Amino acid sequence: MTGSISTSWLLLSPSNSKPLSSSDSYSFIATLKPFRYYPFQSLSSNRISSISPSPSLRIRSGIRELRERIDSVKSTQKITEAMRLVAAARVRRAQDAVIKCRPFTETLVEVLYSINRCAQLEDIDFPLSVVRPVKRVALVVVTGDKGLCGGFNNAVIKKATLRVQELKQRGIDCVVISVGKKGNAYFSRRDEIEVDKCIEGGGVFPTTKEAQVIADDVFSLFVSEEVDKVELVYTKFVSLIKSDPVIHTLLPLSMKGESRDMKGVCVDAMEDEMFRLTSKDGKLAVERTKLEVEKPEVSPLMQFEQDPVQILDAMMPLYLNSQILRALQESLASELASRMNAMSNATDNAVELKKNLTMAYNRARQAKITGELLEIVAGAEALRES
């Protein structure tokens, strides 16, 4: 027929040059990355097979499934974006609270150290500053109440677990006071770790009331000599993109390096020291360098109207409450910053996945339309030849 374009060659098999019927099945495979056209390789049993990529990058879905998955990714993107905005709005307030709290707590600790030093020179015994041989240590582990914040909870739980293992290797018993739902769920499933109490956060931002509950428990454990040392394990807020899990000695109120076990070995955490790898006798050795920090001391000419023990008794509840409240604030700011970054990455991944799925959907739809057109053209060509 003049002017007609024959397209029967599109449906011919190289082996037998026989057109494919409309009942033959086609398989179209859309991939996430990279998107490229895979040429037809073989024709067996009237079925077209193509080169398939790795199974992890393969999308074997129909047009309807791809459309539903695109809608699901869009919904997930809205959720992650909303969570990112909420975390970004809350992290500013938490960051301000941390910055404002640090000068007060640091100055209070310096004053208490100075008063305690003066009291020790006058042979005044104060229960919370008594350094006993360490037989049992209490760890106050501060985690978050919610997930979807990257590796925030895993990092502080891992830090606490390593500290427990380190103490047990030295023959020192350990008891955990867990603060936060994630830590409570973890330690409640560990029979090898003794848990004294599990405390959950009560509000959006930590308050002195929540810190007081933890401080009362810590105070009773130390004064009753059930534990000889109390340590805080929390995440220190450094910046919006960085936070570090740290260990901070809470009780006894003494300088670092004075808490020792029955054998006289220091049991303080090594994070307060700076390590250097050096060469000694042809081997690598570790040198520890103490960081000396100048602190303002109480003038020896200063006289107290009240007994130093009474002053310490009045200030110690404030010290415990402020230190625990600071740990809660630092942990919350680190959690919000980690959640903001995690949700930002999740939103970016959702955008990329939606783009890839849309491209796969368009290719599958185009392949389906092309197949239908080929069937129509082949039918028309067969009618014309007959």
Residue 148: left (phi > 0), alpha (psi -120 to 50), or beta? Answer: left
Q: What is the dihedral of CA 350, 352, 357, 360, to 10 degrees?
A: -170
Phi then psi for residue 230, to 5 deg, are -125, 130
Read off the tokens for 279.
């060469």
Contact present, 317 and 215 (Cβ < 8 Å) = yes
Contact present, 253 and 116 (Cβ < 8 Å) = yes
**Cα Rg for the chain, rounded, in angstroms?**
34
Read off the tokens for 164.
């427990």
- The residue with tokens 């790795």 is 54
Phi then psi for residue 371, to 5 deg, are -65, -40
In DSSP terms, which residues pair with 123 in a beta bridge?
none
Read off the tokens for 328.
């809660």
Phi then psi for residue 385, to 5 deg, are -70, -30
Q: Which of 261, 180, 175 is nearest to 224 (CA)?
A: 175
Other beta carbons within 10 Å of 212: 16
Contact present, 261 and 170 (Cβ < 8 Å) = yes
Kindly state the greatest CA–CA separation across the chain.
120
CA 23-24-30 angle, to 5 degrees, is 125
Q: Which residues are catalytic?
A: 149
